[in-house]
Amino acid sequence: MRIVKKIIKGKEFLYLQHSYRGKNGKVRTDEAYLGKEMPDNIEEIKERFEEKIRKNIHAKLESIKNNFQKEWSRLPASIKEKEKEQIAIAFTYNTNAIEGSTITLADAREIIERGISPNKPLDDVKETDLHAKVFLEMLDKKEKLSVDLLLKWHGDIFSSTKKDVAGKFRDYMVRIGEYRAVDWQDIGKLMADLVKFVEKTKMNPVEIAGIAHYRFEKIHPFGDGNGRIGRLLMNFILWHNHYPMLIIENRKRRAYYRAFTKDEKGFYSYFLRTYLRVHKSRLGDYKNGKM
């Protein structure tokens, strides 16, 4: 959102503007006229304008959810199982590749579909196999989100490859690039607060998923494997609130990494744009949100 000046017939006028990428990929702009001078109640005007934007976004997200559920409900049970396996292959490949795994998409398919191990580092093979199993169990088993569940995911994925850190929070300080993660002594409370936020907030589930992912990575609770657990958490929230999931593609990891250098609002803006782009075919028509 920004305030811009327009010159019309030699006179200066102020407008509040918000730009977004429309369904056809073109940048669209909504605006609100402010007047010739900055109004005294500009903060109130901004709040109303933001609320209008939020309602428009929520209408889009609701359309995505409804169209996804219609698609999913039409699939026979056996096809649903195959579809979940394909999602597991794509998600597991990308989430591990972001962290440097040597396993290709074809390798991941061989491991997950056929149980065939490629000629690649054994740790990468194990983490691919175990991640897919945790992911599929997460889809099928609606468990209550808890700190213990996050610890279990981490332990199940890394118990064979990272035994010294698997299934437990770090008890030392870490730095990720220029970012210094939170004090390890605060991790327990911060993780409990994060779980409470996910369970209690009244935000839209897509908002919750994006913000929870950001907060989780900033806490950086584990010695290793934080990205993979954070992306599992993100998709746990989406899936069990009936929204289609989001796969962060390895080939777009630079934009993903850059988003984490921003504040929470900046990261969520990236997350929302990505989500709407990935699921634009499910937007359809939505009330007060037709583009």
pTM confidence score: 0.85
Asked if residue 30 has pLDDT above 80, the reply is no
Instruction: Name the pLDDT band for 290 (thresholds 50, 70, 90).
Output: very low
Q: Are 182 and 218 in contact (CB under 8 A)?
A: yes
Q: Are 152 and 236 in contact (CB under 8 A)?
A: no
Instruction: Name the pLDDT band for 219 (thresholds 50, 70, 90).
Output: very high
Of 30-39, 46-55, 264-273, the range with the highest mean pLDDT is: 264-273
Instruction: Name the pLDDT band for 288 (thresholds 50, 70, 90).
Output: very low
DSSP-derived 3-state class of residue 1: coil
Average pLDDT, the chain: 90
Q: Which residue has the tokens 């509040």?
A: 16
CB proximity list for 90: less than 8 A, separation 6 or greater: 105, 247
pLDDT digits (tens, 9 = 90+) for 98-142: 999 999 999 999 999 999 999 999 999 999 999 999 999 999 998
Instruction: Name the pLDDT band for 289 (thresholds 50, 70, 90).
Output: very low
Show the CA angle centred on residue 199, arms to residues 277 and 274, nearest 5°: 10
pLDDT at 287: 40
Asked if residue 19 has pLDDT above 90, the reply is no
Cα–Cα distance between 61 and 53 in angstroms, integer? 12
Instruction: Name the pLDDT band for 279 (thresholds 50, 70, 90).
Output: very high
Please give the residue that has the higher pLDDT: either 12 or 277.
277
Cα–Cα distance between 107 and 125 in angstroms, integer? 9
pLDDT at 25: 55
Instruction: Please classify residue 246 by burial: count the beta carbons closer than 10 Å to its beta carbon, then call 0-12 exposed, 13-18 middle and 19+ buried.
Output: buried
pLDDT digits (tens, 9 = 90+) for 232-251: 999 999 999 999 999 999 99
Instruction: Name the pLDDT band for 48 (thresholds 50, 70, 90).
Output: confident
Can you list the alpha helix ranges (DSSP code H) found in the chain? Answer: 42-73, 77-98, 105-109, 122-140, 147-158, 187-200, 205-219, 226-239, 253-259, 264-278
Q: Give me the mean pLDDT over the 275-279 stretch.
A: 96
Asked if residue 27 has pLDDT above 80, the reply is no
pLDDT at 33: 67
pLDDT digits (tens, 9 = 90+) for 81-94: 999 999 999 999 99
Instruction: Name the pLDDT band for 291 (thresholds 50, 70, 90).
Output: very low
The amino acid that residue 286 corresponds to is: Y
What domains does the chain contain, in order, with CATH numbers? 75-260 (1.10.3290.10)
Q: Give me the mean pLDDT over the 10-36 stretch.
A: 67
Instruction: Name the pLDDT band for 95 (thresholds 50, 70, 90).
Output: very high
Cα–Cα distance between 120 and 14 in angstroms, integer? 60
pLDDT digits (tens, 9 = 90+) for 154-179: 999 999 999 999 999 999 999 888 88
